Amino acid sequence: MGGAIRITEVTITPVAFRDPALLNAVGVHEPYALRAIVEVSTDQGLCGLGETYADEDHLRRLRSAAGAIVGMDVHALGAMHQRVAKVLGASTGSDGHGLTGTITADGTVDRVFSPFEVACLDVQGKAAGRPVSDLLGGAVRECVPYSAYLFYKWGSHPGGEPDSWGEALDPQGIVAQARRMVDEYGFQALKLKGGVFPPEQEIAAIRALREEFPDRPLRLDPNAAWSVETSIDVGRRLEGVLEYLEDPTPGIEGMARVAREVPMPLATNMCVVAFEHLAPAVERDAVQVVLSDHHYWGGLHRTKLLSGICQTFGMGLSMHSNSHLGVSLAAMTHLAAATPHLTYACDTHWPWKSEDVVQAGALSFADGSVQVPKGPGLGVELDRDALARLHERYLACGLRTRDDTGYMQRIDPGYERKVPRW
């Protein structure tokens, strides 16, 4: 199939899917997670898929950008990025839920552009009869390892039915959760979302995980809930236990102070979340591992650019996750497969969801890894009935912007969001 493949229509469908009561440094997950499915239709009958956030302001920007890219060739990704930037102007998103750090004007453009780029790559792959990983330089690994993402959690949302995972509010609950993750998915690496309880309790949970799983890499992410002094103390006490410590304290300067005093690498998806953050982070040696995320680094090609920069300056590369569906898992897997420098197991929220918008069979876990889909493009197709059902839920559920803190305060009016908390 030669020549230009022009975009004729862009459809953006917000969806809501059930989410357990997972606790974090700023509150608790609401009963539904919000995502948007992007479909790019073309004049050659091919349709590409992307997935992104569905907060109200982000949807507004997506719709503005969608109108601007109609008529463009799906191969013109550089020009497309420029056109999205022009449409958005100096518009700046916000980290309303407090978990992803400062969002700049350039970072806002990248977040809006990303799902369109993924969808265009899906079209390109379908036209060429090749998987997206081939368009990124070819897979260097056939299976991509992921890590178990452990959360402190309630057994149910207030007033709701208990979920199948049960309560996890102490080290024993976290170990039981990890055991199920390992038994069902085969995860080799384990990550605990911290910043929920005083550091002493979370240290105890990490030590309990080490006792139960003596050979698996462990990670701890308190989402900048600790002061510099607390971070240094915890880091020193967990010497030889953690593979890396993620975002213990706020900001590049704070991370640099901690990095000078603790024995393990520091990782981030909060203080380095856009290209303009890389230079100061390198200058201060604040971060040793960057957690990439194509959803906010501008898509798959720009994440490959990030990988090259990290490799140049001796920084490791891992992958961040937010609550996501199968379109994102497919994109993440193709990207990780084609990125040699991404040597850490990637994060994923996959086990926490019980429904999806893609047809079953293309994505599955074995030994903690996902095999790279072999079909053309992303290798996944929409389940139209499921998409319609989750869109109807979006319309009915009343949630329009993620607000972990507000939800927690409705349950516990005395709850305060503090950074740092300890």
User: What is the model's pLDDT at position 93?
Assistant: 61
Q: What is the DSSP string of 227-273?
A: -HHHHHHHHHHTTTT-SEEE--SSSHHHHHHHHTT-SSPEEESSS--
Angle value at C-alpha 215, between 211 and 221, nearest 5 degrees = 75
Whose tokens are 């690496």? That residue is: 189
Closest CA to 238 of 268, 208, 271: 208
Helix (H) or strand (E) holding 33, with range, is: strand 32-42
Check 97, 191, 193, 324 and give the catalytic one: 193
Neighbouring CB atoms inside 10 A of 45's CB total 10
Residue type, 66: A
- CA gap 324, 8 in Å, rounded: 27
- Measure the CA–CA gap between 355 and 140, rounded to whole angstroms: 30
Both tokens of residue 255? 């991370």
Instruction: Please name the residue that has the structure tokens 């024995």.
Output: 263
From CA 84, how far away is CA 138, in angstroms rounded? 28
Query: CB of 220 within 8 A of CB of 193?
Result: no
Residue 107: what pLDDT? 86
- 58, 157, 320, 334: which one is catalytic? 320
By the 10 Å C-beta count (0-12 exposed, 13-18 middle, 19+ buried), 200 is classed as exposed
Closest CA to 347 of 79, 146, 105, 87: 146
Strand spans (E) along 152-236: 189-193, 218-221
SS3 14: strand
Structure tokens at 36: 């948007």
CA–CA separation, 55 vs 73, rounded Å?
Answer: 28
User: Quick one: which of 62, 280, 311, 284 has its CA closest to 292?
Assistant: 311
**What pLDDT score was predicted for residue 141?**
97
pLDDT tens string 187-242: 999 999 999 999 999 999 999 999 999 999 999 999 999 999 999 999 999 999 99
Tens-of-pLDDT digits for all 422 residues of the chain? 568 999 999 999 999 999 999 999 999 999 999 999 999 999 999 999 999 999 999 999 999 999 999 999 999 999 999 999 999 987 666 555 555 566 778 889 999 999 999 999 999 999 999 999 999 999 999 999 999 999 999 999 999 999 999 999 999 999 999 999 999 999 999 999 999 999 999 999 999 999 999 999 999 999 999 999 999 999 999 999 999 999 999 999 999 999 999 999 999 999 999 999 999 999 999 999 999 999 999 999 999 999 999 999 999 999 999 999 999 999 999 999 999 999 999 999 999 999 999 999 999 999 999 999 999 999 999 999 999 999 999 999 999 999 999 999 999 999 999 999 99
**Residue 193 annotated to the active site:** yes
- Residue 41's SS3 state is strand
Q: How far apart, in whole angstroms, are the C-alpha atoms of residue 254 and residue 306?
A: 23
Q: What is the pLDDT of residue 104?
A: 79
Tokens of 367: 């030994």
Give strand pairing partners of 377. Answer: 131
The single residue listed with the structure tokens 């030889």 is 240
Give the CA dihedral 153, 157, 158, 160, nearest 10 degrees: -140
Q: What is the reported pLDDT for 377?
A: 98
pLDDT at 99: 59
Is 320 designated active site?
yes
Residues 93-130 have pLDDT tens digits of 655 555 556 677 888 999 999 999 999 999 999 999 99
